Structure 1
Amino acid sequence: MAATIEVVEFELGGERYALDINLAREIVEMIPITPIPRAPPFISGVINLRGEITNIMNLNTLLGLPDKEVRENQKIIVLVPEAAKGNNIGIIVDDVSSVRQVPETDIENIGAGISSEFSQFVKGIIKVSGDEAEKKGKDLIIWLDMEKVLTDLGNRSKGSPGTGIVHEAD
């Protein structure tokens, strides 16, 4: 029997994406975000989530995807602090579809011949079959490596005047 992977499936710019379930702390409805002056474009701002300051990132901008208009069902996926080196980080997505168990046999790796700045952040492509693929009209889900995305973000910001990420006081 093939092993399964659990992921949170979400939508971004009309496409289907997923991230590892163990990286998601919670999913919250969109709430007002306080902008941070001079923050990088991928930082939308901060929110006060039950007394914790949480940095909010625009995943479209972070991944270099076209930024669509604000949608009605937008959500924030709050990541576990361990995924972001102890920081409280949330990512804006258009909608969260489901938590799904994916058999490893339904996951394809991106070919080594395909190179782009984006492909290094993709763990694999999840193939969806049957009625669900027909209903949504899309049969592939891009499985993001959010830990790599956040690590790359940290590496890019070294030596620059700041990432815009707000650290809570100890």
Structure 2
Amino acid sequence: MAGTIDVVEFELGGERYALDINLAREIVEMMPITPIPRAPAYISGVINLRGEITNIMNLNTLLGLPDKDVRENQKIIVLVPEAAKGNNVGIIVDDVSSVRQVAEADIEHIGAGISSEFSQFVKGIIKVSAEDAEKKRKDLIIWLDMEKVIADLGSGSKNNPGAGIVHESD
């Protein structure tokens, strides 16, 4: 019997993406973000989310995608602290489409032959059912490995990119 995987589907720059549902703590409406001076470009700032300081990252910048103007339906997906080494982190997305259950048979894993800086952060490509594709939506969803994306920040690969993250103990 083939298993299923639960993901949160969201949009960035007109493309469809997903992340593991167990990494998402909650989804909140966009709110004012306080910028952090001298933070890396991918750190939009911090918010006070029910008494907790939460770092907000711009996923477009983080993934090297073109950053567009603020969109009306933007949301913040707040990740579980375990996904971000114990830190409170949220990512800005254009919109959250749905929570989706995906059959493992509908996931195409990227082969070793396809290599780019971005592909190391992709768990696979989700093929969408025919009725969804008939709604004139793109029929592929890029399944991101958010744990790898966040872990890469701490590697210091981009002039100490973890420098902008505010820790609760600070």
TM-score, normalised by the number of residues in structure 1: 0.96
Match of 1:113 in 2: 113
Q: What displacement does 1:33 show?
A: 0.1
Match of 1:153 in 2: 153
Match of 2:48 in 1: 48
Match of 2:8 in 1: 8
Match of 1:93 in 2: 93
Q: How does 1:121-132 map to 2 (within 5 A)?
A: 121-132=121-132
How many residues are treated as equivalent by the alignment? 170
SS of the equivalent of 1:147 reads helix
Q: Give the aligned residue type for 2:115.
A: S
Contact map agreement 1:157 1:163 (CA 8 A) in 2: no
Gap change, CA 1:119 and 1:157, over 3 Å in 2? closer
Q: Give the aligned residue type for 2:65.
A: L
CA RMSD of aligned residues (A): 1.6
Q: What displacement does 1:137 show?
A: 2.2
Q: Give the aligned residue type for 2:95.
A: D
Contact map agreement 1:123 1:145 (CA 8 A) in 2: yes
Runs of 4+ aligned structure 1 residues displaced above 4 Å come to none
Q: Return 153-162 or 137-146, whichever deviates more.
A: 153-162
Gap change, CA 1:94 and 1:134, over 3 Å in 2? same
Q: Give the aligned residue type for 2:119.
A: S
